[in-house]
Amino acid sequence: MVSIMFFLKNKIQVCSVFIILSLFLFTGCSTKTLQQGQLQNQESQNVTIKMLDIGQGDSVLIRTSEQVIMIDTGDVDERERLLSLLKKEGITTIDKLIITHPHSDHIGGAYILFKQFNVKAVYDNGQTTNTKTYQTYLKWIKDKNIAYKQVLAGDQLDFGGGVSFRIFSPTAQMIKADGDLNADSIVGKLIYGDFSMLFTGDSEAETEKGLLKTYGKELKSTILKVPHHGSKTSSNRNYLQAVAPEAGLVSLGAGNDYGHPHQVTLNKYNALNIKLYRTDQDGSITVTSDGKTYNIQKEK
Ligand SMILES: [Zn+2]
């Protein structure tokens, strides 16, 4: 009996020590977990904008703390590259796919996205064309029953995590007039706190003229996606002065058939002291912002 009592007492002591130790360890661990959690939370509050090195075309991957967004998908012959770039980024779901206009160097990779990823919603300007690439795009949206919405000037999309996308162009009238596909590209401003970036698709000088008149100072953005792969048919001086970006990002393929970027365009940016980053020379370009400051990283 005594030995049993002793055994129990001993066991209680051992248990007590064990419980105290556990509590200590548990408290220690939970503090550490909390710190890591806070760090992760701070990191995930950033917006990351990656202009993919996708040859002659456009494709931009945007990640906020809540969503994955893509603006354009590169050309048909770059589909496999797009797929590998996105897989490398660990992408499985695309919350929003925005197509600026239905030319193949912007819409060409949509097929592989629909086939390989969970694309939740597609947004475009509603302008149609009769190319096979565009018909395939429509067919996949329909077959996979993907949410689709036309967006026009005045609309706003929520990218989650405090990031919004304000659409400036095209207007309903521009689409009704069934004008030039490039000129009617979706132009929109991503806004996150003090940071902003203007996305322009292949919009043209005439688009810029209209935007200046309607939006003026509201065009001002931290960074500009240089319109139409650096073509001389856009990037008007007045427009650049209104947007007044600190840097411009150009997406284009080395030695492309169009001679992009045109020298006169490069000169305009140079004269205004706007630093240019180019996917043909720098590889993929990544912009990260916490809503106050930002940094730009080149792959090469
Ligand atoms: Zn283009």
pLDDT digits 0-9 by tens, 53-106: 999 999 999 999 999 999 999 999 999 999 999 999 999 999 999 999 999 999
The mean-pLDDT minimum among 12-26, 96-110, 133-147, 210-224 falls in 12-26
Q: Please give the distance, rounded to the nearest whole angstrom, from the Cα atom of residue 218 to the centre of ligand 1.
A: 25
How far, in Å, from the CA of 103 to the mean position of ligand 1? 7
**Residue found by looking up tokens 């935007």 in the block:** 211
What is the 279 CA–ligand 1 centroid distance (Å)? 14
pLDDT of residue 38: 43
Instruction: Give CA–CA dist 142/134, Å, rounded.
Output: 13
The distance in angstroms from the start CA to the end CA of the chain is 79
Structure tokens at 257: 């058939």
Ligand 1 centroid–CA 138 distance in Å is 19
Distance 56 CA to ligand 1 centre (A): 7
Establish whether the linkage from the previous residue to 170 is cis, with ω within 30° of 0.
yes
| pLDDT at residue 207, rounded to an integer | 97
What average pLDDT score do residues 135-139 get? 97
User: 297 C-alpha vs ligand 1 centroid, how far in Å?
Assistant: 23
pLDDT band at 184 (very low <50, low <70, confident <90, very high): very high
Q: Identify residue 146 by its one-letter amino acid code.
A: I
pLDDT of residue 221 exceeding 80: yes
pLDDT, average across residues 16-31: 42
Look at residue 178 in the predicted model and tell me its pLDDT: 79
> What mean pLDDT do residues 131-144 have?
97
> What percent of the chain clears pLDDT 70, i.e. is strictly above it?
85
**Least confident window among 13-17, 108-112, 157-161, 278-282:** 13-17
Residue 9 has pLDDT above 90, yes or no: no
Query: Nearest 5°: phi and psi at 237?
Result: -60, -45
Which pLDDT band, with edges at 50, 70 and 90, does 33 fall under?
very low
Please state which of the ranges 2-11, 38-47, 60-69 shows the lowest mean pLDDT.
Answer: 2-11
Distance 211 CA to ligand 1 centre (A): 19
Long-range contacts of 255-264 (CB under 8 A, 24+ apart): 256/56, 256/229, 256/280, 257/56, 258/56, 258/229, 258/231, 260/56, 260/228, 260/229, 260/230, 260/231, 261/226, 261/229, 261/230, 261/231, 262/230, 262/231, 262/232, 264/232
Whole-angstrom distance, CA of residue 215 vs CA of residue 56: 30
Pairwise CA distance, residues 63 & 135, whole Å: 28
